[in-house]
Amino acid sequence: MALERTDVEKIAHLARLGLAEDELTATTATLNNILGLIDAMQAVDTTGIEPLAHPLEATQRLRADVVTETNQRDAYQTIAPAVEQGLFLVPKVIE
Amino acid sequence: MPVHTLTLGQISTALANKEFSAEELTRDLLARIEQENPRTNAFITVTAEQALEQARAADARRAAGETGALLGAPIAHKDLFCTQGVRTSCGSKMLDNFIAPYNATVVEKLANAGCVSLGKTNMDEFAMGSSNASSYYGAAKNPWNLDCIPGGSSGGSAAAIAARMVPAATGTDTGGSIRQPAALCGLTGLKPTYGRVSRWGMVAYASSLDQGGPMARDAYDCALLLGAMAGFDSKDSTSVDQPVDDYLAALEQPLKGLKIGLPKEYFGAGLDSRIGAATQATVAELEKLGATVKEISLPNLQHAIAAYYVIAPAEASSNLSRFDGVRFGHRCDDPADLTDLYKRSRAEGFGAEVKRRIMVGTYALSAGYYDAYYIKAQQIRRLIKNDFLAAFQEVDVVMGPTTPNPAWALCAKGNDPVAEYLEDIYTITANLAGLPGLSMPAGFADGLPVGVQLLAPYFQEGRLLNIAHQYQQVTDWHRQAPTGF
């Protein structure tokens, strides 16, 4: 199934990527090429095959529920685009 | 002999014999970088001051009686390993202003071993590419032919080593990003078993595939570096708690009785005949050393690219959602609202290939398509792993070409991502299965290096380094230097 331009707009929104009008046409064509390559998978018989998420089949390691990290807010905020009084600034969310 | 022509092993010996100090060596190599970087674009950032500081510290440690093999050894880091106080750009405008607030585990371990880092090397943006052409800082060039790509994504590390600016460097490999540039630049590169080297502080692309490893001129140097890079790290939830082998000791094992499998699928249509011939010649050489060879089959190879280009973008779309213009990285000017902040910061900060992979991944994970794409790809992933498990019942290692073609001209595949994806055919299976893989120089095609790949069962990095080292005792492909360097 080929993607339409409106599908690409929707995917871009889900990915929070602002695509310009002129980028949409080219992106639609390229994505359809890539999906053409990927769709070859559908011909493979995978009945009864368990999906493999981790090559060594490892499960998540657990640790004791204790504090291990020290507070490094100031260090981390020196590289933030906009901070004030120890808080990250974003545009107004609640009107 | 000028110091830039020495391998890491030779440097280690010379430093131990006090032929020169780490500081003298570092000054010489920094001058060499200043001279050769403009035409190769291998480094994004050169950290001269920090390097000299590390070199002086290494000299002091040696004067105090320490004798580590890597004390004062010069290296470079791919620019996706976080380096405290130094820009870690990932080849992206998104992180052009990102000064890492901490060191990656690999960076920390190598520094503790006494390594001197000369700088951060160029790469495809966020490690997404096989040419280094998607870097925000411009493409790195292949020293064997400056009109050609050095491979990717660890193309800057490969170009820096091939141009004799640094004897060894770190790389990362998600679909071949250590092995392919090693092959195209005439180097030895090793992707360890998934979980062998800590991923902590390595900017994530596809977390179930990413693995850091060494790149150098020969197997000995890779063994030296891997010994210091590998090991369990509680900060990486997928790090494997298993002792690290003595890779240097493993090098000396004779190859008599080694069983090599040649997958017939690796020698089909699409393979440059000169690379096929070089691979066969390597096989003949290994037979002389006592190995036996047999044809095997990896029937699901043909499905690997499709599965990879679902899994990798899907994980990338999730990993790269952290770049939101709020906490670090690029932020657009005057956002109208929060959504505008996200959308424009990401649109401005990411390049075309990164956006493409985020889009493919977002689509593959979106409601209604998850089973058809992501689950299906993971099922194929198991079929590919099963192919290898079956092969390793019959043989000790699997061998074939690293790439179907030698380095291509810069921009030759620029407008066709699918054409570039197809170049990954021989390397991506090791990532999907999590296996260790090594590429070593095995000849030339029209003056461009050709690489041969060896794949082994889990945690048998020592075996791979052993085979490459024994091969390098009877051949000299790895000793060739590009003309003019």
In the block, tokens 């002999």 appear at: B1
Q: Regarding beta strands B259-263 and B43-46, do their DSSP bridges make them parallel or antiparallel, or are they unpaired? A: unpaired
- Chain B residues whose CB is inside 8 A of the A63 CB are 234
* Domain range for A30: 5-42
Return the CATH number at B200: 3.90.1300.10
Contact A55 B363 (CB under 8 A): no
Instruction: Give B83's strand partners.
Output: B86
Contact A41 B310 (CB under 8 A): yes
Q: How many domains does chain A divide into?
A: 1
Cα separation of B247 and B10, whole Å? Answer: 17
Residue A54, in any domain of the structure:
no
Q: What is the DSSP letter of B231?
A: S
Residue B375, in any domain of the structure:
no
DSSP B409-425: BTTTTTT-HHHHHHTTT
pLDDT (0 to 100) of residue A95: 75
Average pLDDT of B58-83? 98
In the block, tokens 């780490």 appear at: B22
Residue B97, in any domain of the structure:
yes
Helix (H) or strand (E) holding B184: helix B179-184
CB-hemisphere CA count at 13 Å for A12? Answer: 26
Active site residue B259: no
pLDDT in tens, A5-14: 999 999 999 9
* Domain range for B204: 3-258+438-479
Average pLDDT of B315-342? 97
**B443, B450 in Cβ contact below 8 A?**
yes
Residue A2 has pLDDT above 80, yes or no: yes
Residue B342, in any domain of the structure:
no
- B306 and chain A: CB distance < 8 Å anywhere? yes
Q: Which chain A residue shows the shortest CA-CA distance from B381?
A: A52
CA of B69: how far to CAs of B38, B107, B112, in Å? 31, 17, 12
Contact A31 B324 (CB under 8 A): no
Q: How many domains does chain B divide into?
A: 1
Cα separation of A82 and A61, whole Å? Answer: 36
Separation in Å, CA of A91 to nearest CA in chain B: 5
Residue A53, in any domain of the structure:
no
- B165 and chain A: CB distance < 8 Å anywhere? no
The model's confidence at residue B415, banded by pLDDT at 50, 70 and 90, is: low
B318 upstream amide cis, omega within 30 of 0: no
Residue B123, in any domain of the structure:
yes
Paired tokens of B53: 């500081």
Active site residue B89: no
Averaged pLDDT score across all residues of chain B: 97
Paired tokens of B466: 């052993």
Return the CATH number at A10: 1.10.20.60
- Residue B310: name the closest of B391, B354, B376 by CA: B376
pLDDT (0 to 100) of residue B414: 63
Among B300, B327, B380, beta carbon nearest to A88: B327
- B112 and chain A: CB distance < 8 Å anywhere? no
Q: Which of B89, B92, B153, B439 is catalytic?
A: B153
Residue B306, in any domain of the structure:
no
Residue B303 has pLDDT above 80, yes or no: yes
Contact B238 A90 (CB under 8 A): no
Instruction: Give B189's strand partners.
Output: B215, B439
Residues of chain B with pLDDT > 70, as a percent, come to 99
Average pLDDT of B363-380? 94
Residue A29, in any domain of the structure:
yes
Cα separation of B169 and B336, whole Å? Answer: 43
pLDDT (0 to 100) of residue B452: 98
- Residue B126: name the closest of B347, B352, B341 by CA: B352
pLDDT in tens, B111-150: 999 999 999 999 999 999 999 999 999 999 999 999 999 9
Residue B166, in any domain of the structure:
yes
- Chain A residues whose CB is inside 8 A of the B330 CB are 81
Least confident of A1-10, B253-262, B378-387: A1-10
